[in-house]
Structure formats: C-alpha cells, structure tokens
Amino acid sequence: MRQEQETAKIITTLLDRGVSSLDEETLDRLAAARNKAVAAMPQRALGAEREFAGIGKFVAAYFHEHRLQASMLVLLGMLLGIFILLQGIQIHEPVGTDALLLASDLPPEAYADKGFDTWLKQSSRH
C-alpha cells in the first residue's frame, strides 16, 4: 500500500511537470474557454454577488454558506411546534371526555361494556 502510494506520487510529480510545459496554443484556448465560462455565469449569481457587496454581505454570505444547517434548524423548530401543539390537544382532550361522561345519563361503566352497545342496538330495533 505504501509502495503503491510512493509510486503514484512519483508518477503524479512527473505528470505535474508535463502540465507545466503545455504549448501556448493550448493555454490560449484554455484561457478562452475559461473566460467564456465565467461570462456565462448566471445573472442570478452575479446579481446576488452585487447585492451581497453591501453591509449585510457577511451576514448574508454566512447564512447562505450554512443554509443546510439553517434549514434543519427551521425544520426542527416546526417539528417542536407541532409536538407542543399536539401535547396541548392531548392535555385538553381527557378533560372534555371526562365532562361528557359525568354529564351523561349512563354510568361510565356502560361505555366500557362491549355487550351494552350490542344490547342497545338490538333493543332500539324492537
């Protein structure tokens, strides 16, 4: 493995020397290609570049750089909000159920008795 890496290093060093001796025509064509590519940079990106050039450049660039983390933070906040909301509903739900049971004409045991529901249906048919 080490031998392999050493061999690779020697080879890439030689390749680097080959790269530094490229002919002028090739270098000119590469420079032209580069300039064409830079000129083709989307206007949106260039517009944002100018926009960021003001006082808020650093802040905007920071949030753009860390947009993944910012998105995750917003998502986490939303999930937390939903969790708190659900907790609130679950807390209030038993109170409503308890009030219904107490106000009902039937005793609470009747709701737990599965046979009662069947009996009620049968008796209502007669």
Partner 1 sequence: MATSQELADFLTQVERRAFKQAAYAVRDDHAALDVVQDAMLKLTQSYGARPASEFPMLFQRILQNTIRDHFRRQKVRNLWTTLFSSFSSDEEDDRDPLETLSPQQEDTAVNPQAQLEQSQTLAIIEAALRDLPLRQREAFLLRYWEDMDVAETAAAMGCSQGSVKTHCSRAVHALAAALRKKGVEL
| Residues near partner 1 (CB under 8 A) | 4-12, 14-22, 26-27, 29-30, 33-34, 36-38, 40-42, 44-46, 48-49, 52, 61, 64-65
Q: How far is the CB of 53 from partner 1 (least distance, A)?
A: 9
Tell me the residue type at 44.
Answer: R
- Give yes or no for a contact between 80 and 88, defined as CB atoms under 8 angstroms apart: no
Cα→Cα distances 52→20, 47, 89, Å = 37, 9, 44
Identity of the residue, 38 or 102, whose beta carbon is nearer to partner 1 in the bound complex:
38
Q: How far is the CB of 71 from partner 1 (least distance, A)?
A: 15
